[in-house]
Amino acid sequence: MLKWRGVRFRLHPLFVILMLLSILTGRWLEIVTLFAIVLFHELGHLAMALRFGWRIRELKLLPFGGVLEVEEAGTVPAREEAIVAIAGPLQNVFLAACGALAGWAGWVDATWADDFIRANAFIALFNLLPILPLDGGKLLQCWMSSRIPYHRTLIWSTRISLLFSAGTVLAALYPLLTGGLLQLNVLLIGTFLCASNWTYRRNVPFVFLRFLVHRARRSEGRIEAGTLAQPIVIAEERPTSAAIKLLMRERYHLIYIVRQGQIRRVLPEAQMIDGFLNSLTNGHADMRFFM
């Protein structure tokens, strides 16, 4: 493990396994090249995240990319998160262009240049699959959060991620049905993604709770800057958690409490969130509602 500017750099065990397999099969040059591509990909994410002032805890490298563990996950503007996510694949586009130029100019072997371009294309395209924690999964989550409530975004992005993760496992097993060879590397990656998203699905209530905790600070900023409020209308007899689940990530809300067609009161979202969080502290609310 290395540490630079307070950021820990760590190899995921899956990457270590792949490295050992490559060394045993005499393909060490390929794994070194892959490591360099993945590292450059992640440095794109890291540079952009630091530019936005995010607090980075750890950068974990995987065979297909990596994972930035940040303090601000789910609490920053969707635009920032989308820019940080796309910065990685753009690094691969840049590397592929450099490889093509080097091959065309004769600075490197043409075969190596072609392999280098294909490796970058694979890393970029694979990372754009709509699977968390891949870049495509994060971009999908950002896009969904601008159109549907954030809680529903977490639920559906996880379901989509699980579906595509299972598809990755099936793609690795499919050659066995046609007399081909098992795609062991794809199987390992697909299995990791399935396990990762299954765990994320179980942790959705806590991810949403973190969103609520940071929501008040961002709401104050919107009010100071001046913003249009989007109303949430809910019947008086409904629990507070029902209104909480309707919060949009990029909107400020006023909550209209209605009884028999009449508005009984209007609450700013911060007051409703504070009341809900206090009820959690006092044991009067159940986070299982958010599963």
Nearest to 236, CA basis, from 215, 268, 262: 262
Distance CA 26, CA 259 (A): 73
Longest dimension (CA), the chain: 78
Distance CA 22, CA 203 (A): 34
How far is CA 136 from each of CA 59, 82, 87, 200, rounded to the nearest angstrom?
A: 18, 9, 12, 16
Instruction: Please name the amino acid found at residue 142.
Output: C
How far is CA 289 from each of CA 46, 61, 161, 202, 215, rounded to the nearest angstrom?
A: 35, 34, 22, 12, 19
pLDDT confidence of residue 140: 95
- In this structure, are strands 2-4 and 56-62 parallel, antiparallel, or unpaired? unpaired
Cβ within 8 Å of residue 276, ≥6 positions away: 212, 240, 241, 244, 285
Q: If you ran DSSP here, which 8-state letter would residue 163 be given?
A: H
**Phi/psi of residue 60, each to 5°?**
-105, 120
Identify the segments of the chain with pLDDT beneath 50.
none
pLDDT confidence of residue 189: 84
15, exposed or middle or buried, with CB in 10 Å at 0-12, 13-18, 19+?
buried
pLDDT confidence of residue 108: 83
User: Mind listing the pLDDT tens digit for each residue in 272-283?
Assistant: 888 888 877 776
pLDDT confidence of residue 230: 83
Distance CA 40, CA 21 (A): 22
Q: If you ran DSSP here, which 8-state letter would residue 226 be given?
A: -
Domain boundaries, the chain: 1-128, 142-202, 210-290
User: Mind listing the pLDDT tens digit for each residue in 159-173?
Assistant: 999 999 999 999 888
pLDDT confidence of residue 121: 93
Distance CA 20, CA 31 (A): 9
